[in-house]
Amino acid sequence: MKFQKRFVPLLLALVLTLGTLPVQAAALTRGEAAQALLSAAQDYNPGVQRSDILKGYPDGSLALDGTLTRAQALVMLTRAFGGFAIPVGDNARMALPASSLTNVPAWAAEELSSVLAAGLADGDANEAMSAEALSALLRRAYAAKGTNLRDDYYAAVNKSWLDGSDIPAGLSINGPFYGLSLTVNEQIAAQQVQALLADYLSRTYVDEYFSAKAKSDVEEMIGEFIAIYKERILAQDWMSAETKAKAVKKLDTMGVKVGYPDSWESCLDRAEIKSPAEGGSFFSNVIAIQMAMKQDVLAHQNDAPDKSEWIMTPFTVNACYNPSANDITFPAAILQSPLYDVNASREENLGGIGYIIAHEITHAFDNNGAKFDENGSAADWWTAEDYAAFQQKCQAVAEWYDGQEAYPGIACSGALTISENVADLGAAKCIVAAAKKLDHPDLDKLFRAVANTWASTTSRQMREYLAVTDVHAPDKLRCNRVLQTLPEFYTTYGIRPGDGMWTAPETRVSVW
Ligand SMILES: [Zn+2]
């Protein structure tokens, strides 16, 4: 992928940094749009000329000063990029239906067919287009092509996986259960074992799939990250020494749970489970297990909270920070390929499990975690001034994500996803800092591992549902929007103004 952009009009550089600026409502002219599209499309359709994009009106006029409408913009986009293929794999399910574009004028209908089939168009075809609106269309075009990592990093790195992905509509599962087709009975059985016999399943799972080497390796990584966090906190110029000392204390006392609990003691040991030969049935065994669980709760009801207790099972592919215990948990099941591999390079593990670990540590200092102290008690440990500065930074994070599209027509809510985004941004800084401690770190490997970590697929309906309910940003933004805050990302790939991934340095956000 050679860098072929011969020139970069100022217009496009401005257009692509609008994420955190006020909406630029002024309509573009046809001439301005042609110039921006010409530059943007060079990597995809080399040799395309302005006359190819701007065919003008029947009387021969190019109407360069005419106001750009959405229909015109889409026609010009199709011409500039040489058309769009009908999406396959993941992309097919992210596409907008052709009916999302309304009031299509007769003259444009034929030329719009590829952009409509690719699912990139919505809105009123007669609407005047601002620079920001054109920029949004361009981002969709970059994603649909998926061939230039300087324009859409996630789409380009994961292109073959995304094109080949095939999970039935309605499922959001990625990772180890991918490709598993279960009958209904098998699914019920699997769910029941996980819910009722979790303690026993956990032991079996850990014996079978988890190594002592993985545990010690990940514990070491966590120790290193906590040290980096201390350095980072002490280096913040917006925080007083008083608040910094409290934050460091929170790090020093943070509980770390890796793989599996220290004790395998289980209330299941006291449940009377009987095989059918012994006269037991599924029903009688469920009752016996439920009774043992209830008796266990009653027996401990007056005890002090047990901080060694796990709130996730070792066979869960997930991780968490628990603010009311001030601890982080990484079950055995998440410590496996592709997120973590004892044989992978350090950079790949940093971009995979490293990102997840640092994300959980940052939760101690996101807008929710900030309200709990080192003991897990709800407490205000900030000076008023520091807390105001912190809130201002969180607000900038909300704006950095708000309105960003991971899929055509589905915008991210900055307010809904703020705490997870603060954690992601802090994580990215931490893993890059860890990589920079290596001799000649290969940051390309690290960034690619980040893109691979978040490669996921699901139905468009599920994406729409998650956009209004999930506190996490869509997976694509957990790669692209996060990496766009790192100067090292721009230098690694030579990303410059005019590239889709470019953002102006003064607009990039950071909390930790
Ligand atoms: Zn999180």
294 domain-assigned: no
Residues 138 and 245 in one domain: no
Rounded to the nearest whole angstrom, what is the distance from the C-alpha of residue 351 to the centroid of ligand 1? 16
Q: Assess if residue 196 is contained within a domain.
A: no
Distance CA 418, CA 424 (A): 10
Q: How do beta strands 410-411 and 405-407 pair?
A: antiparallel
Q: CA nearest 164: which of 443, 455, 441?
A: 455
Domain boundary among 145, 169, 196: 145
Query: Which residues touch 25 (CB under 8 Å, ≥6 apart)?
Result: 130
Q: What is the pLDDT of residue 21?
A: 39
For residues 236 and 318, state if they share a domain.
yes
Quote the ligand 1 centre to 213 CA distance (angstroms): 26
- pLDDT value of position 460: 83
The pLDDT of residue 188? 77
Residue 1: how many other CB atoms lie within 10 Å? 11
Distance 414 CA to ligand 1 centre (A): 15
Domain boundary among 145, 161, 190: 145
The CA distance from 392 to 262, in Å, is 41
CA 54/CA 335 separation, integer angstroms: 54
55, 21 contact by CB (below 8 A): no
Residues near 2 by beta carbon (within 8 Å), at least 6 away in sequence: none
Q: Over its length of 512 residues, how does the chain's per-residue pLDDT go in tens digits? A: 333 343 333 344 434 443 333 444 689 999 999 999 999 999 999 989 988 898 867 777 788 999 999 999 999 999 999 999 988 887 777 789 999 999 999 989 999 999 999 999 999 999 999 999 999 999 999 999 999 999 999 999 999 999 888 765 444 444 334 444 555 677 778 888 998 999 999 999 999 999 888 899 999 999 999 999 999 999 999 999 999 999 999 999 999 999 999 999 899 999 999 999 999 999 999 999 999 999 999 999 999 988 899 999 999 999 999 999 999 999 999 999 989 998 999 999 999 999 999 999 999 999 999 999 999 999 999 999 999 999 999 999 999 999 999 999 999 999 999 999 999 999 999 999 999 999 999 999 999 999 999 998 887 878 898 999 999 999 999 999 999 999 999 999 999 999 999 999 999 999 99
Query: Are residues 116 and 230 both part of a single domain?
Result: no
Choose one of 94, 119, 145: the last residue of a domain. Answer: 145
Which H or E run contains 364? Answer: none
Q: Is 360 an annotated catalytic residue?
A: yes
Query: Would you state the structure tokens that stand for residue 269, as one six-digit string?
Result: 């040991």
| Ligand 1 mean position, distance from CA 375 (Å) | 20
Instruction: Report DSSP state, residue 27.
Output: B
Q: Give 7 Cα–ligand 1 centroid separation in angstroms.
A: 41
Verify that 83 and 218 share a domain, yes or no: no
Contacts of 436 (CB under 8 A, 6+ apart): 488
Q: Determine if the peptide bond prior to 338 is cis (ω within 30°).
A: yes
CA 37 to CA 32: how far, in whole Å? 9
- For every residue of 427-476, DSSP letters joined together read HHHHHHHHHTTSSS--HHHHHHHHHHHT-----HHHHHHHHHH-SSPPHH
451 within domain boundaries: yes
410 by Cβ neighbours in 10 Å (0-12 / 13-18 / 19+) ranks as: middle
- Crossing angle for the helix pair 131-145 and 30-40, to the nearest 10 degrees: 30
Residue 334 lies in a domain: yes
- How far does residue 354's CA lie from ligand 1's centre (Å)? 13
Pair (127, 217) in one structural domain: no
CB 112 within 8 A of CB 71: yes
Cα–Cα distance measured from residue 62 to residue 45, given in angstroms and rounded to the nearest whole number = 21
DSSP secondary structure letters along 34-83: HHHHHHHTTTTSTT--HHHH----TTS---TTSBPBHHHHHHHHHHHHT-
Q: State the SS3 of 387-408.
A: HHHHHHHHHHHHHHHCCCEEEC
Domain of 413 in residue numbering reads as 212-261+314-507
32 alpha carbon – ligand 1 mean position (Å): 42
281 domain-assigned: no
List all residues 6 or more positions away from 373 whose beta carbon is below 8 Å from its beta carbon: 246, 250, 326, 379, 381
**Chain centre to alpha carbon of residue 440:** 27
247 lies in the same domain as 334: yes
Residue of 327, 366, 424, 488 marked active site: 424
CA 116 from centroid of its chain's CA atoms: 27
Residue 429 sits in a domain of what CATH number? 3.40.390.10
In a domain, 344, yes or no: yes
* Cα 131–chain centre separation: 26
Query: How many other CB atoms are there within 10 angstroms of residue 294's CB atom?
Result: 11
How many domains, in total, are found in the chain?
A: 2
What is the distance in A from the centroid of ligand 1 to the CA of 246? 22
What CA–CA distance (Å, rounded) separates 488 from 481? 14
Q: For residue 323, what pLDDT is reported?
A: 94
Q: What is the pLDDT of residue 458?
A: 80
* Residue the block writes with tokens 């047990």: 306
Do 399 and 490 lie in one domain? The reply is: yes
Question: What are residue 255's DSSP bridge partners?
Answer: 327
Å from CA of 422 to ligand 1 middle: 9
Annotated active-site residue in 151, 360, 366, 488: 360
Q: Where in 89-215 does DSSP place strands (E)?
A: 101-102, 123-124
CB within 8 Å of 128: residues ≥ 6 apart: 27, 67, 68, 69
Non-local CB neighbours of 336 within 8 Å, separated by 6+ positions: 176, 209
- 460 CB contacts (<8 Å, ≥6 apart)? 93, 94, 95, 407, 410
Q: Does residue 228 fall inside a structural domain? A: yes
Rounded to the nearest whole angstrom, what is the distance from the C-alpha of residue 265 to the centroid of ligand 1? Answer: 29
Please tell me whether residues 216 and 135 are part of one structural domain: no
Distance 320 CA to ligand 1 centre (A): 7
Q: Is 254 part of any domain? A: yes
Task: Copy the structure tokens of residue 380.
Answer: 């205000």
Same domain, 250 and 328: yes
Judging by beta carbons within 10 Å of its beta carbon (0-12, 13-18, 19+), is residue 186 exposed, middle or buried? Answer: exposed
Beta strand extents in 247-300 (DSSP E only): 255-259
Q: 259 and 206 in contact (C-beta within 8 Å)?
A: yes
